Amino acid sequence: MRGQVVVRLKQEVLDPQGVTIAKALDNLGYEGVGSLRQGKVFDVELATSDPAVARTALESMAKDLLANPVIEDYEIHLLEDGSGNGEEGNG
């Protein structure tokens, strides 16, 4: 089973990289970008077909290493069909 952990800065944390990217997009002629926040995506191949086991493993990975809970939030996605569509959850 494939899983995905999406990590983003919490809304209350300043995102200078997102601000820089938004300004660069404006400079390139992309109008209408009010704000932009950047994040990280971790694609993980898991040796299980049990969604509960996969979710537990991904939650543990996110809490232990992939996200800094002081400044970041994360989401867990289970990707069973290989298309990027799957069950979603919030961390």
**pTM for this structure?**
0.82
SS3 string of the chain? CEEEEEEEECCCCCCHHHHHHHHHHHHCCCCCCCCCCCEEEEEEECCCCCHHHHHHHHHHHHHHHHCCCCCEEEEEEEECCCCCCCEEEEC
Domain count, the chain: 1
Can you give the pLDDT at residue 89? 52
What is the domain range of residue 53?
2-90
CATH of the domain at 42: 3.30.1280.10
pLDDT digits (tens, 9 = 90+) for 27-71: 999 999 989 999 999 999 999 999 999 999 999 999 999 999 999
Token pair, residue 19, equals 């601000």
User: For residues 58 and 1, is the Cβ–Cβ distance under 8 A?
Assistant: no
